[in-house]
Amino acid sequence: MEFSSFLTSLGTSFTIFIILMLLFTWLSAKRGNAVVYYPNRILKGLEPWEGGLKTRNPLAWIREALSSTEQDIINMSGIDTAVYFVFLGTVLGILVLSGVVLLLKNAKSTTSKGTFNDLDKLSMANIEERSPRLWAFLIAVYWVSLVTYVLSWKAYKHVSALRANALMSPEVKPEQFAVLVRDLPDVTPGQTSKEQVDSYFKSIYPDTFYRSLVLTNNRKVDKIWAELEGYRKKLARTEAIYEESRRKGNSEGKRPTNKTGFLGLCGKQVDSIEYYNEKIKKMTQKLEAEQKVTLREKQLGAALVFFTDRVTAALAAQSLHAQMVDKWTVTDAPEPRQLIWTNLTIKFFVRIVRQYMVYVLVFLTIVFYMIPIGFISAITTLENLRKLLPFLKPIVDQVQIKTVLEAYLPQLALIIFLALLPMFLLFLSKIEGIPSGSHVIRAASGKYFYFSVLNVFIGVTIGGTLFDTLKSVEEEPNSLVPLLAKSLPGNATFFITFVALKFFVGYGLELSRLFPLIIYHLRRKYLCKSEAEIREAWFPGDISYATRVPSDMLIITIVLCYSVIAPVIIPFGVLYFALGWLVLRNQALKVYVPSYESYGRMWPHMHTRIMGVLLLYQVTMLGYFGVIQFYYTPILIPLPILSLLFYYVCRRKFYNAFCHTALEVASQELKETPNMELIFRSYIPPSLIPEKQEDEQFEGALSRVSRTGSFVWSTSFVYFHHSDAVL
């Protein structure tokens, strides 16, 4: 890439960001757009604009983000979001402290060759082999490693404290009184799974066992419930249309009609309101009948067991309940909204087989994706495109077009290619048999990280280098390794542009929310009629850790691995994480609504990946110094060993408290006696909640065996949202 193209890409990206930021300032100040730019505040009953319309000031959102505290983030978006900002702050600190040394050292120890090509003025490309000046670079590798150890250790301690404080909260959290029990043994003749679970846990925990909820085969009842909910939505929409016609026309209004045939295109014409009311009445009766059959006759081999205190639940989740590992598997219960019901009854060995099958699929995906990504990185340069597609020469040879294409073409091709992957990885993680939505997201995030590192960082580097040096390798095969090493600094400009594109354009679009705004107004104008449909149109969802964390990890991989080779990349990494911290701080406080709370369970995943990136960086530098024949390269050998040792110590010290709730945490007093019936009902799937308050008592999977042996189940409940498909 020519230096002019590099400057063009930076200038264009910065201009786009400024335009998007100004658009955000203008659009977010309009009251009609408040639900797009301030949904989190609106849902919590707060005014969209703090202090009125002061946010018309272009810098007001920056001031609000900078002045916000960690507790503000926790109050608005929960512990998981606060932990994400600990991650951003830790990485930012690593890059800033590394950059101070690396850039000062580099400014004093490098000289220009008289050309700006490949930014050689600020890279190791012009350092001669065996040069004593390489000592400075070698010491810098140790400095970066030391900074990473210190800051990641401090972050681990801080996140551990955040998690403990949240779990010690005097507020009642349903998941702290429940455990998930899988792999129930076969029931004896004449006994139900419900009776089996009750007798088993009552004998072990006679004083604190409350009741159990045995899982059932809900496929049929879920289908009926979904159909019933569909008719209710249609009725609400129809009534909204009717009310609108009454407001616009006469007081009578025009009653909506529809055809009863296929997709409403054929069949008898009927009054929509009467038709949907009749359908709802029939489906309600059908649902009630199926609920009773399901609870009585379709019990499966898993259950949720409830205890009257948090300590017993924590003990049960950490204890071995059966001699055989594939019987009575007890784990912490996820939040009610996180449960993936269809995964809970998958047997122990089936889960293991699925897990290994998914690992193989992910491995094959990484391997075969590397081929097209390496190919794209090789051909998406103007020189190669002109060779492969000669008819494009008249277009790409124009100065203005050539400059823009050189600046953006490879990076855009790579970003678009990567956008196709996340949903597939989420699907693979779900079919492993993972029981909770947050765990699925952690698993998918890990897969995406390995994919990004192997395919983007390594694949692009090797792919682009091999394409350029293929003829030299054919003539002298033994020159492959030296050629790759010498070409490594030349890839720095590609990755600098990639990082700049991600933070200027990416965070500009994130802040401006142009696409969500356009989609909302189009849906509001042409599709939405009822209040529920309007809310669905503007509801923002969560911060999407499954893709956001791996993307951040890819950036720190690129920046760290090139930090010594081409330290000029460090300011771009600092800008990426600083701007991300600022923009996402605003989004966390005002936009995104968490879909779950795992109390920082993502942090060990983040820490492991940071250590993985550091290890890759150290191995890369060890290989690079070796290839350029620096005599003292073996001095770097202890670093990877030290990183593995540091990771082992961190895991032994902190990790268990993230897997389970420590008893000293669970033993903290609550401010009120928990309402166990409400806790129990929060886990009942929506399709099994009775439609009528006065409905008869249900027997079966939800029945309660009292101390006297009578069946009791209150049908008053608090509704909690559940979903089979958390993805």
- When pLDDT is averaged across residues 458-487 and rounded to a whole number, the result is 55
Strands (DSSP E) contained in 98-198 are 178-182
Distance CA 487, CA 538 (A): 48
Shared domain for 141 and 205, answered yes or no, is no
Q: Within a domain: residue 462?
A: no
**What's the structural domain count of the chain?**
4
SS percent in the chain: helix, strand, coil, step 5: 70, 5, 25
Shared domain for 528 and 610, answered yes or no, is yes
Global confidence as pTM = 0.85
- What CA–CA distances, in Å, run from 138 to 50, 122, 133, 150, 636? 50, 16, 9, 19, 8
- State yes or no: pLDDT of 560 exceeds 50: yes
- Contact status, residue 549 vs residue 622, Cβ threshold 8 Å: no
Shared domain for 362 and 412, answered yes or no, is yes
- Stretch among 28-37, 59-68, 134-143, 471-480 having the lowest mean pLDDT: 471-480
Largest CA distance in the chain: 93
Q: Give burial (CB, 10 Å; 0-12/13-18/19+) of 229.
A: middle
Q: Within a domain: residue 477?
A: no
Give residue 724's pLDDT. Answer: 37
DSSP state of 453: I
Distance CA 613, CA 604 (A): 14
Give residue 58's pLDDT. Answer: 66
435, 451, 472: which is the final residue of a domain? Answer: 435
Distance CA 512, CA 524 (A): 19
- Contact status, residue 411 vs residue 558, Cβ threshold 8 Å: no
Distance CA 177, CA 170 (A): 13
3-state secondary structure 360-381: HHHHHHHHHHHHHHHHHHHHCC
Q: Within a domain: residue 487?
A: no
Distance CA 396, CA 409 (A): 12
Residue 278 binned pLDDT confidence (cut-offs 50, 70, 90): very high
- Contact status, residue 287 vs residue 224, Cβ threshold 8 Å: yes
- Contact status, residue 23 vs residue 58, Cβ threshold 8 Å: no
* Domain extent at residue 273: 219-296
Q: Within a domain: residue 375?
A: yes
What residues have CB less than 8 Å from 359, skipping those under 6 apart?
none
Give residue 272's pLDDT. Answer: 86
Structure tokens at 612: 């993985």
Distance CA 434, CA 426 (A): 11
Across the chain, mean pLDDT equals 81
Taking the CA atoms of the chain, what radius of gyration do you get in angstroms? 30
Distance CA 293, CA 216 (A): 10
* 625 compared with 113, residue with greater pLDDT: 625
Give residue 497's pLDDT. Answer: 76
Shared domain for 615 and 538, answered yes or no, is yes
CA nearest neighbour of 291 among 680, 689, 681: 689
Distance CA 231, CA 503 (A): 44
Q: Within a domain: residue 482?
A: no
Shared domain for 241 and 355, answered yes or no, is no
Shared domain for 361 and 428, answered yes or no, is yes
Shared domain for 21 and 109, answered yes or no, is yes
What residues have CB less than 8 Å from 636, skipping those under 6 apart?
138, 141, 618, 621, 622, 625
- Stretch among 310-314, 337-341, 669-673 having the lowest mean pLDDT: 669-673
* pLDDT tens digits along 138-149: 888 899 999 999
Q: Within a domain: residue 590?
A: yes
Residue 692 binned pLDDT confidence (cut-offs 50, 70, 90): low
Distance CA 298, CA 216 (A): 5
- When pLDDT is averaged across residues 630-640 and rounded to a whole number, the result is 82
Shared domain for 278 and 307, answered yes or no, is no
Distance CA 588, CA 602 (A): 17
- State yes or no: pLDDT of 718 exceeds 50: no
Structure tokens at 139: 């010491």
CATH number at residue 195: 3.30.70.330
* pLDDT tens digits along 39-68: 999 999 888 876 555 545 667 889 889 999
What residues have CB less than 8 Å from 294, skipping those under 6 apart?
216, 217, 218, 220, 221, 688, 700, 701
* pLDDT tens digits along 60-114: 889 889 999 999 999 999 999 999 999 999 999 999 998 887 777 655 554 444 3
- State yes or no: pLDDT of 399 exceeds 70: no
How many residues make up the chain in this entry? 727
Give residue 115's pLDDT. Answer: 40
Q: Within a domain: residue 339?
A: no
Give residue 215's pLDDT. Answer: 93
3-state secondary structure of 306: strand
Give residue 226's pLDDT. Answer: 93
DSSP state of 703: -
Q: Within a domain: residue 546?
A: yes
Distance CA 587, CA 539 (A): 13
Distance CA 418, CA 422 (A): 8
Residue 569 binned pLDDT confidence (cut-offs 50, 70, 90): confident
Helix (H) or strand (E) holding 200: helix 193-204
Shared domain for 133 and 191, answered yes or no, is no
- State yes or no: pLDDT of 484 exceeds 60: no
- Contact status, residue 193 vs residue 207, Cβ threshold 8 Å: no
- Contact status, residue 349 vs residue 326, Cβ threshold 8 Å: yes
Shared domain for 47 and 36, answered yes or no, is yes
- Stretch among 61-65, 291-295, 405-409, 601-605 having the lowest mean pLDDT: 405-409
Shared domain for 61 and 117, answered yes or no, is yes
- Contact status, residue 685 vs residue 722, Cβ threshold 8 Å: yes
Shared domain for 506 and 518, answered yes or no, is yes
651, 683, 710: which is the final residue of a domain? Answer: 651
What residues have CB less than 8 Å from 54, skipping those under 6 apart?
60
